[in-house]
Amino acid sequence: MFARFSNARKSIARFFAFTSLLWLAACDVTVAPDANVGQQINPDAPIDVALLVPGGSAQSTDNLLAQNFENAARLAIADLEGATVNLRVYNTAGGNPEQAAIAATQAVNEGAKIIIGPLYGEAANAAGVAIAGRDVNVLAFSNNRAFAGGNVFILGSTFDNTAQRLVRFATNQGVSRFMIVHGEDLPGRVGRDAITNAIQQNGGELSGVESYPLSQQGIFSATRRIVSNVRSSGAQAVFTTAGANADLPILATSLPDAGMDTSRSRFIGLTRWDTLPQLAALPGLDGGLFALPDPGPAALFANRYSATYGETPHPLAGLAYDGIAAIGALAAAGNSEALTRAALTQPQGFRGTAGVFRLMPNGLNERGLAVATFQNNQVVILDQAPRSFGGPGL
């Protein structure tokens, strides 16, 4: 097994590099006041929109993302019907909060009525605080709930949303006892809390919480303890925060190898499993549950982007398209309140690049997700993503 996962530490390092795009330490967070509701506009005139991207960074990944966000935003503008957007793009030097604050202030001074971006949570928070009191909302690309609220809405898919979808589906299938297994880092702890809340809110029972250090040896050292507690608790599901490119392959192999019966206690994943095809071949994940965006709209956007720019879009690129599309849809309806909190948080939501989504008054979002599993080394959709919102929740 050690030879099989000899590159696990490198994978975990790559995982940290990716998740740092969205997750930053949630300390000293200042949320802009709730009084900021957004400006009225003339829906027949061009709407001044600022796009804050992580360009001007020393990191090539930031600059790649910056270009993807701009490409997707301009693609959305070209697709608008009945509305016109005047887009200005501002760099935030990666996730630099000071630069994000400067960019947001400059954007509003230059006439921006709404801001889309930035990416990193602390940068989004800084942008929102910098323009607090100026009646301009921020639709950030982050998925970190710690920075949502006031005039800042987050567009990124949240752990809360995924956990709610999966727990709701599992309980409807007769699963009532859940064990949470998470890595000892910020995303692991945030994921743990999201799963805990989802279990409590959907009538499930939390049979235990287990954690492990984020290293190959750390996972192996925790394996027997985790398996023993899964057995003794009678957990019907092991809900893990593990990432596909990092700890999940090790966890999904070591726990069954140590005696965890996945036919009695199947894995449920807070992260997407379909992003790494090799995972489908792991026996431990066969029959497990995970969530993914609506495949139809996601494929349409990827094809449209590739046909226009000659390359595959970054997985986060669609967030920029979604922000522009939502603004355009509200303006095209002749809504002079299109950029206000009330309009942005309309219950019916919007159709986005990954399916339906809606912004919530607390700054979070809800996205329609499909529930999938692995069967015979293939991804199988068990419950299609909803195509509309039927009420307060899916």
Residue 28's region, left for phi above 0, alpha for psi from -120 to 50, else beta, is: left
Per-residue DSSP letter, 176 = -
DSSP per position, 225-292: HHHHHHHHHT-SEEEE---TTTTHHHHHHHHHHTT--TTTSEEEESS-STTSGGGGG-GGGBT-BEEE
CA dist 391 to 347, 348, 365, 394, Å?
A: 7, 8, 14, 7
The total of other beta-carbon atoms located within 10 Å of residue 193's CB is 16
For Cα atoms 204, 205, 206, give the angle at the middle one, nearest 5 degrees: 125
The 3-state DSSP class for residue 296 equals helix
CA distance 382 to 360: 27
pLDDT of residue 256: 97
Question: In tens digits, what is the pLDDT along the chain, a chain of 394 residues?
Answer: 323 333 433 443 333 333 333 433 333 445 455 545 788 999 899 999 999 999 999 999 999 999 999 999 999 999 999 999 999 999 999 999 999 999 999 999 999 999 999 999 999 999 999 999 899 999 999 998 899 999 999 999 999 999 999 999 999 999 999 999 999 999 999 999 999 999 999 999 999 999 999 999 999 999 999 999 999 999 999 999 999 988 999 999 999 999 999 999 999 999 999 988 999 999 999 999 999 999 999 999 999 999 999 999 999 999 999 999 999 999 999 989 999 999 999 999 999 999 999 999 999 999 999 999 999 999 999 999 999 986 433 4
pLDDT of residue 391: 46
CA distance 116 to 85: 12
Maximum Cα–Cα distance across the chain = 65
Tell me the one-letter amino acid at 80. L
pLDDT of residue 259: 96
Burial class (CB within 10 angstroms; exposed 0-12, middle 13-18, buried 19+) of 309: middle
For Cα atoms 197, 193, 383, give the angle at the middle one, nearest 5 degrees: 60
pLDDT of residue 135: 93
pLDDT of residue 325: 95
Per-residue DSSP letter, 210 = E
Which among 130, 112, 129, 132 is positioned nearest to 50, based on CA atoms? 112
Given a contact cutoff of 8 angstroms between Cβ atoms, the answer to whether 165 and 371 are in contact is: yes
Residue ranges of the alpha helices (H) in 180-294? 186-201, 216-233, 248-257
